[in-house]
Structure 1
Amino acid sequence: MGEDAPVAKRDGLASVAGRDGLAIVAGRGELPRLLAEECVRRGRAYRVVVFEGVELPWLTGHPSIAASFEKPGRLFAALHAAGLAAVTFAGGLVRPSIRPLRFDLKMLCLAPRLLRGIRSGDDATLRLVAAIFEAEGFRIEAAQEILPELPATPGVHSRAMPSEADRADAGRAAAIVAAMGQVDVGQGAVVAGGICIGLESIQGTDAMLAFVAATDRAVRPKAKGVLFKGPKPSQDRRMDFPAIGPGTFENAAKAGLAGVVVEAGGVMILDHAATVAAADAHGLFLWAREP
């Protein structure tokens, strides 16, 4: 088989894709697994697209397609050969180190436009990637369309309740995230006693919480503080929908926070029962705040 031929891997599941087949471009986290399991539950044809360097411990038993960032032509050919009509993007992906000597013909055509986009913010990059897939005839399907129960419903989901001070910190953090979103930076902030002590950037929420945990208590306000997470104002939610899970509360507890606030309808709660259990186990609140 030639270097640029489509490569599809089938692990014991039916491999005949229908017209509504779904390609799951998978990154870190639980969301890609949940999407694949939902396809199995519905009997929907699908493939998990696995880029080089991405480790998916749950992949065994799921049909997959190996992909390289430098060879989009090969990927598009594999998706068309599998009869897939839609693409969804799920989980975190690290920006790749592009190796020009490995470019296929499609990448040679896309490279000037794509490389300019990669130097922009995340949202601009994802919009460009969506446009490229759409130009190849694929429909972009949002993860929340497939799993509509995941976006947070309004209200307090935990036993612990936010105080008035916590609510004020949440409002301040939400304003900070909205301001960062205007320049396409991050989706989260930590505020304590009205003072911002952590901002999310390309490293992600867990890295921000680790930074807060490592911050000298002597320079932190006396208030515990809250993590707020929400989408950027103009974010393409088909491509990037913020999410939290049980691990968010493990890290928030290590950072000494009082709780986690998410924008209702704008953030997904992955494994709701386990996430609420983690919040309750640490005595933290989980509040889905109306935007």
Structure 2
Amino acid sequence: MDSFSFIDLTSINARLKLCGEDKVDLLDRLSTNDISTLKEHGQGMSTVLTTNKGRIIDLIKVYFLEDSLLLISDIKSISKVSEWIEFYTIMEDVTQINVSDDTFQIRIFSDDLYNIFPEHQESKMDDFFVQDLCGAKITIASNKMNQKQCFDVIGEKSDKKNIIEFLANFGTQIESSQFENLRISLGYPKFGNELTEDFNPLEALLIDHISFNKGCYIGQEVVARLNTYDKVQRQLVQISSNHPIGIGEIEFEGKTVGIITSAMQNNGIAYVNKKILNETTQVKYGSLDVEIHPI
């Protein structure tokens, strides 16, 4: 991939605004991270919405705007995310506005983005700044996919064409298949594959998006107990083979020890039993030898 490249995530992710006096408090009670620390325009963080059993609904990004919270989720999870928030909105002053159809999102991969925006070199991870570009007011947020730094550009959909043309002066627009290959090569989880109600945030290696010092949230007791007593049974890993692999069970000595949740060509992402990681790095997918790599 080029040193500067970008992907149009407009139809891959969804964008939902939460408005009202109780928006921060409500989301704080529904997700793993300490949303209450978001107090100023320009701040952001990732958090996990969890069920009462501590299972994953989705990993979402939250940005503190002047008049609302902007939530970024997978397009396939937005209905569940919205319904979950609505279910727990009882007396709270919270209103949802789905702005997915009116906005765009582009992800930039570059080590030198600040050559374009030098005045924002001090931006912290997850925080964002607003910039006038090509006659449009856009939001640029610092982000990362595991260890790979990236930047998300968000704005009004009517401005997307001009922004893409501007970015094309610096690098290449990649296709969704290339983005999926990159995601798998980074071991980065995705809704519907690694991020489902079959798994919990600790298994998915999302501990950086969990606060163990905040107040109660849905699923907190389960997540806290798993962490405190080291009861996490599975772990997200990367896998590779000398042959093409697919989604399905993986075995060791004839016993099922995990499941491949994402695959493209010879590489994939899987959940495996943690005990196996102490015994071997070689497992089987059907008749194929598969190598386990930590994320």
Q: What TM-score do you get using the length of structure 2 for normalisation?
A: 0.32
Which structure has greater strand proportion? 2
TM value normalised by structure 1: 0.32
Q: Which has the higher contact order (CA 8 A, sep 6+)?
A: 2
Report which of the two has the higher share of helix.
1
